[in-house]
Structure 1
């Protein structure tokens, strides 16, 4: 493994086609640990599909995805699960698990150690501001409370991963949360990046992207139109064009 690929997520000419429609078209990118990359763009831009490709949940119709210079398909599933965790927009569980038991599911790819797994699950619940939910039945929680528990689960999954270049993939992590918890979850993402993890997140709120991301990739109609620091990527004329409405400095992007 070369130093240039160590810890990096790379896509090369990735395409995803569904029913004759290109959802992601010829996207090539690389991402490094220790940084927050936000994927933004209008509905149907291909953001969540691209994140699904990076997670391994969606297989591209063309192109390839590599982690550490190894094709994603070549990773042993448990080893991959220890290196990346994905927080989806919504996770439905039909079982009567407590919130604590849901978080413990994040430890399943690891060598089982009840004492250590319990300590990490508890720490992850506290880190996700979900400690007070630990004994409650998951299915009885509100959508926002469930999202916080799921955040704790993915944190538990890659808790030790900062030194190994582990990854958090977050699909609209702010969905269903109030303003305070929206900022909290992005602050948590920044803290994870500071600890050495890589974070790739789909965001709809451009102000959150401007405030918390190191880099922003702007997508529309399956294509990556621009990528760079927030003040460069979130250029108002480009955003006005792809969203179809005039956006100016009062929107708050340029002030971040």
Structure 2
């Protein structure tokens, strides 16, 4: 038996065990088994309609599987009460709509609702300020959310999720409406979140310290930009037709043959000057 593999399974923050999701007789996710480890950024990639958002929903407990089981900290998600789940993981959906004329600061403050009436409510002010600063929306604090641009709304919505201050972040396309500068900034914030240790320090998985800081945090993020996923993710899961067809490091999953087959378009995978992978379409559709 692979002892290291067994140890990783035992330490999974999130886990799917042969999970399928069926809606109106259509299988959206098919027999997916997956473990998310502490300290990692895990990117979900795949074509439109492949099942990425549904898989994220199953990981979060928002969607109960038709078959199989989803677990957080080794406990089936169906065994948690809603408030318990909201104290364990925070979710960013693709839609960034708010029905009432709340200000930006009020929207971010909503992220603290799970901690109302608990000792951690004492951290509300600091958590809100830290979250707004991290994604660069402090100057928008008094603006009405509905008056913001799409990119501004996306950053404010991420600040709300960060203010929730949970160990696990589940993010559905957090960079979709952002310019290049803010895409990079958001992905750096996401990566830093996964590295925050129990003592509040930021660990470095490449460090050679004999007593590395322990983190119980992780991020699962749906990303359409494959080069962005390759630059910031520790591992990548490729979903095609509801099936998880490949899981591994960016180098293992993001090859020319694997990606070209998955997306049905001819792709080149090269190295950028900084050493990260770049995925570039050659515009030749595979027949």
C-alpha displacement of 1:59: 1.5
Q: Does the CA contact (< 8 Å) of 2:22 and 2:29 recur in 1?
A: yes
C-alpha displacement of 1:254: 3.8
Which residue number in structure 1 is paired with residue 125 of structure 2? 118
Higher relative contact order (CA 8 A, sep 6+): 1
- Of 59, 66, 72, 1:61 maps to 66
Structure number with greater Rg is 2
Which residue number in structure 2 is paired with residue 21 of structure 1? 26
Distance 1:3 1:227 in 2: 15
Which residue number in structure 1 is paired with residue 182 of structure 2? 181
C-alpha displacement of 1:91: 2.3
Q: Deviations over 1:204-246 (max 9, x none)?
A: 0000011000000111000011110001111110111111111
For normalisation by structure 1, the TM-score amounts to 0.92
Q: Does the CA contact (< 8 Å) of 2:43 and 2:237 recur in 1?
A: yes
DSSP-derived class of the 2:59 partner: helix
Correspondence list, 1:18-167, <5 A: 18-112=23-117, 116-158=123-165, 161=166, 166-167=167-168
C-alpha displacement of 1:5: 3.6
- Root mean square deviation, CA, Å: 1.9
Q: Does the CA contact (< 8 Å) of 1:7 and 1:68 recur in 2?
A: yes
Is residue 2:238 matched to residue 1:218? yes
DSSP-derived class of the 1:28 partner: strand
Correspondence list, 1:234-253, <5 A: 234-250=254-270
Structure 1 runs (4+) deviating above 2 angstroms are: 2-7, 111-116, 249-256
Distance 2:86 2:56 in 1: 15
Distance 1:251 1:44 in 2: 28
For normalisation by structure 2, the TM-score amounts to 0.82
Q: Does the CA contact (< 8 Å) of 1:33 and 1:167 recur in 2?
A: no
- Of 228, 248, 258, 1:208 maps to 228
Q: How many residues align?
A: 249
Unaligned runs of 5+ in 1: none
Distance 2:30 2:130 in 1: 40
1:151/1:216 CA distance change after superposition, 3 Å: same
1:77/1:53 CA distance change after superposition, 3 Å: same
Distance 1:25 1:43 in 2: 16
